[in-house]
Amino acid sequence: MIDPFGREVSYLRVSVTDRCDFRCTYCMAENMTFLPKKDVLSLEELEAITASFIRKGVKKVRLTGGEPLVRKGIMELINNLGRYIDSGELHELTLTTNGSQLSKYAKDLYAAGVRRINVSVDTLDPHLFTMVTRWGDLSKVLEGLDAAQEAGLKIKINTVAVKGVNDHQLDEMVEWAGGRGMDLTFIETMPMGAIDELRSEKFLSLEEVKKSLSQNWTFQDTDYKTGGPADYVIVQETGQRLGFITPLSHNFCESCNRVRLTCTGMLYMCLGQNDNADLKQVIRSTNGYEKLDAAIDEAIGRKPKGHDFMIDRKNDQKPAVARHMSVTGG
């Protein structure tokens, strides 16, 4: 699949649920209204749409959410998608998780063909962790990380850098992740969905973070790319990769290879734009694959050149994109 700007679309992110067992302050309001069940694609529908993308050339699928591992029956979907890894049609099946359920699922994920996962951890301070996630328990997540590494899964940690919250602990994160043989990516907050606080007061530029970290660590340039928007360096002291996702300070759209499917079957061609295609309506109104394939082709033909994110005081009350990150899954 080639979009109008000549970019090959080979990466599909699938949000399998909008629900979550955490309520991270930058992601959700404490009182969230979740979608009614009838609006959410069944596991079979999620699989059928993902299979269409694989037929059309998608090589990498990432499951996300909400929290993908709280969706009932999720291993069924993961096992079924794992068959495309066995057949060679899919090169990578992975997920982004908050880690709360990893102790339970790590071995099954490996058995299904998953080899790498992203786990979100913003701080190693248990008290602060509960403040940021509102409902999370750091010790459970750390147990999950142990289980995942024991099962043979490679881990990349995602840390959202938030001013006045975890900005004083980022060195510690580099040391911890490096010491455990895990890559680490810092993420800038993105203006998505209404939350309970002002975003401009919490925005931290990763350019400054990188500068300050480089006083304590030696960064080696690398041209490593995961197909994601992160810019990577290698931390010489730990030998691990360190990534910086800076959607607001830089434009990473030129090399964008991905599209996103929500759990309601809406296909978003860009995380930072509202244009979408309703694949649920297509899959619920036909039996064969032709209409679905045609709807996907039509949508890829509308993939925009880039996003319009902006955080400033004027825009604080009005997020650049009204949907929460938990809808499109980041």
Binding flag, residue 23, ligand SF4 (CB under 6 A): yes
DSSP 251: -
Supply the minimum distance, in Å, between the C-beta of residue 59 and ligand SAM.
21
For residue 68, state whether it binds ligand SF4 (rule: CB under 6 A). no
Binding flag, residue 64, ligand SAM (CB under 6 A): yes
178 binds ligand SF4 (CB under 6 A): no
Q: Does 190 interact with ligand SAM (rule: CB under 6 A)?
A: yes
Residue 26 contacts ligand SAM per CB under 6 A: yes
Residue from 22, 55, 19, 46 nearest 122 by CA: 22
Q: Among residues 50 and 96, whose Cβ is nearest to ligand SAM?
A: 96
Interaction of residue 67 with ligand SAM, rule CB under 6 A: yes
Residue type, 256: C
Distance in Å, CB of 145 to ligand SAM, minimum: 13
Q: Give the one residue of 1, 9, 12, 28 binding ligand SF4; rule: CB under 6 A.
A: 28
Residue 25 binds which entry of ligand SAM, ligand SF4, none, with Cβ cut-offs from 5 to 8 Å by kind?
none
CB–CB of 223/239 below 8 Å? no
Query: β-strand 258-261 against 266-268: which pairing, if any?
Result: antiparallel
- Strand (E) or helix (H) holding 93: strand 92-97
Which residues in the 112-151 window bind ligand SAM by CB under 6 A?
Answer: 120
Q: Does 98 bind ligand SAM (CB under 6 A)?
A: yes
Residue 215 to residue 260: CA distance in whole angstroms? 37
Contact partner, 23, from ligand SF4, ligand SAM, none, Cβ < 5-8 Å per class? ligand SF4
Check: CB of residue 156 under 8 Å from CB of residue 182: yes
Coil, strand, or helix at residue 294? helix
DSSP string, 296-328: HHHHHTT--S-------TTTTTS-SBSS-HHHH
Nearest alpha carbon to residue 188 among 239, 249, 146, 140: 249
Binding string, residues 2-21; x marks residues near ligand SF4 by CB under 6 A: ------------------x-
Sign of CA dihedral 6, 7, 9, 15: negative
The closest alpha carbon to 16, from 259, 193, 261, belongs to: 261
Coil, helix or strand for 190? coil
To ligand SAM, the closest distance from the beta carbon of 283 in angstroms equals 23
Tell me, by CB under 6 A, how many residues bind ligand SF4.
13
Q: Which residues bind ligand SF4 (CB under 6 A)?
A: 20, 22-24, 27-28, 65-67, 98, 120, 133, 326
Binding footprint of ligand SAM on the chain (CB under 6 A): 20, 26-27, 64-65, 67, 96-98, 120, 158, 160, 187, 189-190, 192, 325-326, 329-330
